[in-house]
């Protein structure tokens, strides 16, 4: 049973779009229908504890929090106490009844050091007692906007010490409304999967990276590659910083571009230029989006680890990272690809999800979104075991944290 639980995560960001935590979503593909609730609860609790403890500090670095949905049954159980006190935020579901027993247990959990969030909260006489135990209150922007109750709820809660999180923020307009209302944190597809907002001119940093990618792909002379780097000192610094990072795992420090090229070779250099492309515009691209893109790259690569050769695995990495370039550059994917000299198999995957790499990218996105049905379907077609998918996803999340992005 444990092998069939999938992990998805969605970032929660502050007003500077820095990630403060993730909501973790656990999905079961093999048993999506109603199994015994007690068994389901037991399995999820064990998987939750094992995943968090196995990932450890490699993933939950710094002050990032793990927001975890907790049913009444889970709240009342001892399994919760397997979770790390300083990282876990327990989300009390909107269907939870504020019984005296539940409130007493929540006060006990607060005393132990756990933080509590009220999920999809709507203020009613029945839900009001839960406010006394809340560290965070999550308001469903879509639902409350539709009923005209968003501002009313914010005003009713603004003097409460709990911090407000706007969830299901899907557009820039909704984000701006929530900022004006005074929300502390935000969650939703606007941050994880932004819409294309407008056509954006590629700035010099992006242009130089694109030029370098094309030169490396076409096996240009080293001196030509160096000349491109010399046009943008910041990019040279970024590349050397990434190559020397713990995530790359080199045993010696690289001091120069020539040294980097000699050690890396063109294929690995291309891989790191891919990372550079998604981080070149850090000022205007949210940290959550950058992290999502790099995680996609690593997960897509790992999913093909035992099926494809090294060159194809590098291409899977590029496919995963580049799959969010349209959102980063705020232009249609076909226009982005016009500026890159990419193999046809990569372009096919990015534009139509077809070809050798397309199904791996589809599976990565399904894992990211916690789409159990799609995961199960693609796992079957690619002949991948659920356990392998779980391991790859956790490994990708941990690897990205080592990069310090």
CA atoms within 13 A on the CB side of 208: 21
Q: How far is CA 185 from CA 79, 123, 165, 239, 258, in A?
A: 28, 19, 5, 32, 44
Residues 219 and 90 placed together within one structural domain of the fold: no
Residues 136 and 244 placed together within one structural domain of the fold: no
Q: Which of 192, 212, 230 is the last residue of a domain?
A: 192
Residue 6 maps to which CATH number? 3.20.20.450
Whether 197 is in a domain gets the answer no
Q: How far is CA 59 from CA 65, 91, 216, 394, in A?
A: 11, 20, 32, 9
Residue (of 298, 346, 341, 326) closest to 212 by Cα position: 341
Residues 213 and 305 placed together within one structural domain of the fold: yes
CA atoms within 13 A on the CB side of 377: 7
Whether 199 is in a domain gets the answer no
Read off the pLDDT band of 2 (50, 70, 90): very low
Residue 196 is given by DSSP the state P
Q: What pLDDT score does 140 carry?
A: 95
Whether 198 is in a domain gets the answer no
Q: Is pLDDT above 50 for 177?
A: yes
Q: Which of 192, 221, 246 is the last residue of a domain?
A: 192
Residue 254 maps to which CATH number? 1.10.3210.10
Q: What pLDDT score does 199 carry?
A: 39
Residues 344 and 368 placed together within one structural domain of the fold: yes
Q: What is the per-residue DSSP string for 25-94?
A: EEEESTT-S---HHHHHHHHHHHHHHHHHHHHHHHS-TT-EEEEEE-HHHHHSSGGGGS-TTTEEEEE-T
Instruction: Judge whether 386 and 47 are in contact, CB under 8 Å.
Output: no
The C-alpha atoms of residue 178 and residue 166 are separated, in whole angstroms, by 7
Whether 70 is in a domain gets the answer yes
Q: What pLDDT score does 5 carry?
A: 53
Angle of CA points 292, 48, 193, to nearest 5°: 20
324 is written with which tokens?
């969010």
Q: What pLDDT score does 381 carry?
A: 93
Q: What pLDDT score does 234 carry?
A: 66
Residues 283 and 171 placed together within one structural domain of the fold: no
Whether 316 is in a domain gets the answer yes
Q: Report pLDDT digits (tens) over 341-392.
A: 678 899 999 999 999 999 999 999 999 888 888 999 999 999 999 889 988 9
Whether 86 is in a domain gets the answer yes
The parent domain of residue 386 ranges over: 204-402
Greatest Cα pair distance, the chain, in angstroms, is 73
Q: Is pLDDT above 50 for 36?
A: no
Whether 247 is in a domain gets the answer yes
Q: What pLDDT score does 37 carry?
A: 39
Instruction: Judge whether 234 and 205 are in contact, CB under 8 Å.
Output: yes
Residue 336 is given by DSSP the state H
φ/ψ of 200, rounded to 5, equals -125, 130
Residues 92 and 179 placed together within one structural domain of the fold: yes
Residue (of 202, 165, 206) closest to 185 by Cα position: 165
Strand 115-118 to strand 65-70: parallel, antiparallel, or no bridges (unpaired)?
A: unpaired
Whether 79 is in a domain gets the answer yes
Residues 186 and 246 placed together within one structural domain of the fold: no
Residues 136 and 218 placed together within one structural domain of the fold: no
Residues 292 and 248 placed together within one structural domain of the fold: yes
The C-alpha atoms of residue 382 and residue 306 are separated, in whole angstroms, by 11
Q: Which of 168, 192, 216 is the last residue of a domain?
A: 192
Q: What pLDDT score does 405 carry?
A: 62
Q: Is pLDDT above 80 for 330?
A: no
Mean pLDDT, the chain, rounded, equals: 79
Residues 94 and 139 placed together within one structural domain of the fold: yes
**Cα torsion 314, 316, 317, 319: sign:** positive
Average pLDDT over residues 279-299: 75
The C-alpha atoms of residue 174 and residue 166 are separated, in whole angstroms, by 9
Q: What pLDDT score does 31 carry?
A: 39
Read off the pLDDT band of 107 (50, 70, 90): very high
Q: Report pLDDT digits (tens) over 123-144.
A: 999 999 999 999 999 999 999 9
Q: What pLDDT score does 119 carry?
A: 95
Q: Is pLDDT above 50 for 200?
A: no
Residues 216 and 299 placed together within one structural domain of the fold: yes
Residues 216 and 352 placed together within one structural domain of the fold: yes
* 3-state SS assignment for residue 107: helix
**Scanning the structure block, which residue is given the tokens 């993730």?**
22
Average pLDDT over residues 235-249: 63
* 3-state SS assignment for residue 299: helix
Q: Can you list the alpha helix ranges (DSSP code H) found in 231-371?
A: 233-243, 257-279, 287-303, 310-322, 325-329, 333-338, 344-352, 358-369
Please state the domain count of the chain. 2
């Amino acid at each position: 049973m444990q092998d069939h639980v999938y992990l998805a995560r969605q970032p929660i960001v502050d007003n500077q779009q820095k990630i403060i935590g993730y909501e973790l979503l656990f999905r079961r593909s093999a048993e999506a229908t109603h199994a015994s609730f007690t068994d389901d609860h037991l399995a999820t609790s064990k998987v939750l504890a094992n995943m968090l403890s196995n990932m450890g500090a490699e993933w939950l670095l710094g002050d990032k929090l793990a927001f975890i949905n907790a049913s009444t049954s889970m709240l009342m159980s001892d399994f919760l106490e397997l979770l790390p006190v300083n990282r876990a935020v327990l989300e009390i579901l909107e269907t939870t009844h504020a019984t005296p027993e539940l409130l007493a247990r929540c006060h006990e959990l607060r005393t132990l050091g756990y933080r509590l969030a009220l999920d999809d909260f709507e203020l009613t006489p029945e839900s009001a007692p839960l406010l006394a135990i809340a560290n965070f209150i999550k308001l469903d922007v879509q639902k409350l906007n539709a009923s005209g109750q968003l501002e009313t709820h914010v005003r009713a809660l603004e003097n409460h010490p709990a911090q407000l999180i706007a969830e299901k923020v899907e557009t820039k307009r909704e984000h701006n409304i929530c900022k004006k209302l005074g929300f502390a944190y935000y969650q939703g597809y606007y941050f994880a999967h932004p819409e294309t907002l407008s056509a954006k001119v590629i700035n010099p940093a992006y242009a130089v990276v694109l030029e370098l990618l094309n030169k490396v792909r076409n096996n240009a002379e080293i001196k030509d590659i160096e000349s491109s780097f010399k046009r943008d000192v910041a990019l040279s610094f970024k590349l050397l910083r990434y190559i020397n990072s713990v995530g790359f795992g080199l045993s010696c420090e690289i001091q120069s571009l020539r040294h980097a090229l000699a050690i890396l070779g063109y294929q690995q250099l291309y891989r790191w230029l891919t990372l550079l492309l998604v981080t070149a515009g850090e000022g205007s691209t949210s940290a959550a989006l950058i992290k999502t893109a790099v995680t996609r790259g690593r997960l897509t690569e790992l999913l093909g680890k035992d099926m494809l050769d090294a060159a194809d695995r590098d291409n899977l990495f590029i496919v995963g990272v580049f799959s969010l370039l349209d959102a980063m550059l705020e232009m249609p994917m076909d226009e982005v690809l016009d500026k890159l000299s990419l193999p046809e198999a990569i372009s096919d995957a990015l534009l139509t999800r077809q070809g050798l790499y397309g199904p791996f990218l589809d599976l990565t996105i399904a894992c990211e979104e916690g789409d159990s049905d799609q995961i199960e379907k693609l796992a079957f077609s690619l002949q991948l075991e659920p356990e392998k998918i779980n391991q790859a996803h956790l490994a990708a999340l941990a690897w990205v944290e080592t990069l310090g992005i």
